[in-house]
Structure 1
Amino acid sequence: MENSNIKRLGQGFFAHGGFIVLVTAAVFLLFSVTANGFLTAKNFFTILRSMSIVTVLAAGITFVLTLGEIDLSIQTLPALAASVLCVLMNKGMPVAAAFVISFAVCAGFGFISGLIIVKTKLPSIIITLAANMIANGLSYILTKQRAVVFSNKAFTNLFAGNIGRFPVMFLWMAVFVLLGYILLQKTKFGRNIAFIGDNREAAEFAGIHIRHTIVAAFVLCSVFSFMAGILGCAQSSNAVSGMLSENMMTAIAVTLIGGTTMAGGKGNMPGTILGAFFLTLITNGFLIMGIAQWVLYLVNGVIILATLSFRYMLQRK
């Protein structure tokens, strides 16, 4: 009985992000002592800014992973969103109109991908890989393989400016993560996503509109990718094909570290934020200490393996 109680406590502690909180605190203390300049207000705001884009991407993919699916188009949709926006703005279109069109393009990708998946029942990895390539190709066509620069101070300040020293990007991230948290973990829609991911046959028997839910999840994922692209575009004041593509694997990694499972049925939006902060903290500390990039890749890989292995062992005990 005592061992059973310990097991339940351990699983609950891990599931609610307690393990990641402890490890993050330990890493924070380590860098505070070993990395000169880490424990400063300037660096704190740098960390908040650095984690914003990948956290928005990760929040979006959390919906799809909770379904037990995957969306590889998050690698190139941010660049497409930025490309559409910048090209249209440079052609004289009002910012609001260009923003809406870019939003519609990205949401359309999610809708079409989700629709094809539910209609054909092909694996989402295949459909979204194709969507990834198409989005990348469209971005190349729009930008003509060069950086499309734009100058709009109001747009830049709105999405990538500062309030005092506080980065506006982090506020946008907070808004989208809060929206994701409410939708995934406080609504019937979110419970349906988890139910479908856990047992699709049982969900269908329970009368859940599985097709509608899947399509909606992919649309949401694409909308979050759109927002990541807008933030990246505002930060750099340009759009170029392939921009932000390196964030896809990091976004998936932080969701897994945060407690979401690729098998479906378990989505953890607060854990996604913790995972993003954790990996951003490590990256920031390594950069300050001048540690080589390849070491960072190795460490991140080991962290993911260790986290998932620990969770697996805890669940089997």
Structure 2
Amino acid sequence: MTTKQKVHEFISKYMLSIILVVLIICISFANRSFLTANNILNILRTMSMKGIVAFGMTFVIIAGEIDLSIGSTIGLSGVIVGVVAGNLSSAGTMSLEAATWVGILVAIIVGILIGLFDGFLLTKFNMPSFIITLGMMKLIYGIAAVLAKGFPVTTLGSWYTELGAGNAGIIPIPAIFLAAVFIISFVLLKYTGFGRNVYAVGGNAEAARLSGINVKATRVLIMVIVQVCAVIAGVLVSSQVMSGSFSFGSGWEMTVISAVIIGGASLSGGKGKITGTLLGLAFLGVIQNAMTLMGVDNYIQYIVEGALVLIAVLFNTLQTRKSE
């Protein structure tokens, strides 16, 4: 391999990392408050919840599927915690503090059931995951709105705020959850048979089936994983503001999928890494924070984010064609 080829391979492999470093340097010169400790911790706290869902979405996209309902699940989770905690405490069954824990447990169970239902429709009827989760997005949103009766639910234990707004030293608690989900996801995808199955199913489901892989079970599990991640994020979001609302998580699908795609995953499946998603998340976090510091309008931020996704998809497509 010539030096030119080695340089080209290096740039292709680490392009996002290089762009991210250059971007951070440029923004830090343009705005002195960007690299302050408070701002870095703010980026970390803000992107941690979306990152947790993005790691779950990585499994789904690598397997060649998609989940558009995660935003609605985020909203539903906070509502469930508040409604369960409020009803149990008002009935005198237990204290509000204990009832909040029960609410979290119920939210996790509901998330698992949603994932199982999605997986059932996907594997039993061969329905496209895009259509399934598009319908579930509206269904879950409606259920959350009915449970909340159209208003934020604020009956929560006093300790609950620590999950989303608390710190362990100087590290935001949500960042600790992010790190834990990252490590678990990284190990699952890289070092377990399940991870290899996810890649195989996304690369060629029929070939995976013929090689003895339980394709249906793999698809069901990835749908459960992303829903559980959405529940965790929903709990953290609602605890940050001490209320549950069906509108929380609205539009998160775009940011989460963007992070995974920008991180190098392919929508056609079989390709992607958790570390790539982490880089994609950091890239989006830096971009969004910089635009906020510069006073860029939210609608312009949507345009920029959408353009970045299109560029990432185009780049992945060109790379795939070139490798073929």
- 1:122–1:95 distance in 2 versus 1, CA, 3 Å: same
| CA positional deviation for 1:302 | 2.4
Q: Which runs of 5+ in 1 are unaligned?
A: none
- For residues 203 and 301 of structure 2, what CA distance do their matches in structure 1 show? 34
Give the aligned partner of residue 147 of structure 1.
Answer: 152
- 2:303 and 2:163 map into 1 onto residues whose CA distance is 36
C-alpha separation in 1, matches of 2:30 and 2:254: 28
| Worse-superposed segment, 306-315 or 274-283 | 306-315
- Name the counterpart of 1:303: 308
Q: Does 1:231 align with 2:227?
A: no
TM-score, length-scaled by structure 2: 0.91
Tell me, yes or no, if the aligned pair for 1:36 and 1:288 is still in contact at 8 Å.
no
The counterpart of 2:57, out of the listed 51, 58, 61, is 61
Residues 11 and 67 of structure 1: CA distance in aligned 2, closer, same or farther (over 3 Å): farther
Counterparts of 1:200 and 1:9 in 2: how far apart (Å)? 35
* 2: CA distance, partners of 1:12 / 1:81: 43
C-alpha separation in 1, matches of 2:163 and 2:299: 35
Q: Helix, strand or coil for the counterpart of 1:72?
A: coil
1:101 aligns to what? 106
5+ residue gaps, structure 2: none
Q: 1:205-236 CA deviation, whole Å, 9 max, x = no partner?
A: 10001111110111111100111101101111
Higher relative contact order (CA 8 A, sep 6+): 1
Counterpart in 1 of 2:41?
Answer: 45
Alignment partner, residue 85 of structure 1: 81
- Once the two structures are TM-superposed, the CA of residue 197 in structure 1 deviates from its matched residue by 0.6
Q: Deviations over 1:177-220 (max 9, x none)?
A: 21111112221101101001101111011000111111011111
Aligned to 1:33: 29
Match of 2:214 in 1: 209
Structure 2 residue corresponding to 1:188, chosen from 188, 193, 210: 193
Cα distance in 1, alignment partners of residues 28 and 109 from structure 2: 44
Contact 1:64-1:221 within 8 A present in 2 as well: yes
Aligned to 2:165: 160
Please tell me the residue identity of whatever aligns with 1:38.
F
Residue 120 (str. 1) matches residue 125 (str. 2): yes
Residue of structure 2 in register with 1:73 after alignment: 69
The CA distance in 1 between the partners of 2:10 and 2:215, in whole Å, is 29
Contact kept in structure 1, 2:163 and 2:236, CA below 8 Å: no
Identity of aligned residues (%): 32
Shift of the alpha carbon at 1:153? 2.9
Identify the residue that residue 291 of structure 2 maps to in structure 1: 286
2:180 equivalent in structure 1:
175
1:152 shift after superposition: 2.5
Q: CA separation in 2, counterparts of 1:66 and 1:313?
A: 18
Range with greater deviation from structure 2 (123-132 or 218-227): 123-132
Check the 8 A contact 1:61/1:252 in 2, yes or no.
yes
Which piece of structure 1 moves more, 154-163 or 191-200?
154-163
On the 8 A contact 1:36/1:289 being kept in 2, the answer is no
Give the deviation of 1:241 after TM superposition: 1.0
Pick one of 242, 246, 261 that aligns with 1:241: 246
Where 1:239 maps in the other structure, the secondary structure is coil
Q: Give the aligned CA root-mean-square deviation in angstroms.
A: 1.8
Across the two proteins, how many residue pairs are aligned to each other?
313
Secondary structure at the counterpart of residue 238 of structure 1? coil
CA drift at 1:90: 1.5
Report the residue type matching 2:206 in the other structure: E
Give 1:301 shift: 2.3
Cα deviation digits, residues 266-317 of structure 1 (max 9, x gap)? 1211111111111111111111111222322222222222233334334444
Letter in 2 for 1:103: I
Is residue 57–residue 248 contact of structure 1 (8 Å, CA) maintained in 2?
A: no
